[in-house]
Amino acid sequence: MSFLQFLHEYDTSLLIALAEHVRMIAIALAIATLAGVPLGVWGARNRRAGGIVLAFANVIQTIPSIALFGLMIPVLALVNRGIGTFPAIIALVLYALLPIIRNTMVSLLAIPHATLDAARGLGMTEGEIFRHVMLPLALPGIVSGIRIAATMSVGVAAVAAFIGAGGMGHFILRGIQTTWPMMTIAGAVGNALLALIVELLLEWVERALTPRGVRIGAERSA
């Protein structure tokens, strides 16, 4: 069976796996963004709290993905949700938090004091400064954090197949278990392509959201 024949034979299951994969990371990223951005804003205002949040997120990041998934099983088994998509999404959220929190904090703290002083001098209230000055300036950095989290999540979500969450990792896993390289390669290539697409797409969003004046020398952060 050639690779193309394989793709044709398994097109439906590949598409289902892709949909499962995308759904998993989309939910996880939405939660992580909703939690991470406010945490980052809080961390930028309260440096000590920010340090603690970052250190905690850093420790989670250091735990290998398969170990984190493994740890989810006995913990969530207590509420009967040890395997499947549920623990996978929780683990993905935990992983995605660090880059989002860190980038939000760093981009807010990188805004020059002179800019904030100028806004204050124009008579803006704190709320207006946040909405009209700080947020637009920090937005590309925040999106960059989401991009890093998203690309990472595509890879981590592949590992989630081991705890029964489905996705492209399922093909890799089944291919290895049945020593059928073609199935493994189909999963791996699909997984890698998805990661590349997500990366390029969010890079584009990041560029589009950068205010024109800031675009000069916009280096990729982290």
Least Cβ distance, residue 189 to another protein (angstroms)? 7
Judge contact between 152 and 99, C-beta under 8 A.
yes
Query: Is 94 near another protein (CB under 8 A)?
Result: no
**Which residues lie closer than 8 Å to 25 by C-beta, 6 or more apart?**
92, 150, 153, 154, 157, 198
Query: Is 18 near another protein (CB under 8 A)?
Result: no
Judge contact between 182 and 163, C-beta under 8 A.
no
Query: Is 121 near another protein (CB under 8 A)?
Result: no
Query: Is 213 near another protein (CB under 8 A)?
Result: no
Q: Which of 18, 31, 111, 189 binds another protein (CB under 8 A)?
A: 189
Among 37, 25, 157, 50, smallest CA distance to 97 is for 37
Q: Which of 17, 36, 65, 92 binds another protein (CB under 8 A)?
A: 65
CA torsion angle 173 175 177 179 (round to 10): -150
Among 20, 39, 143, smallest CA distance to 92 is for 20
Binding-site string for another protein from residue 128 to residue 167, where x marks contact by CB under 8 A and - marks none: -----------------------x--xxx-xx--xx----
What is the binding site for another protein (CB under 8 A)? 59, 62-71, 73-74, 77, 151, 154-156, 158-159, 162-163, 169, 172-173, 175-176, 181, 184-185, 187-189, 191-192, 195-196, 198-199, 220
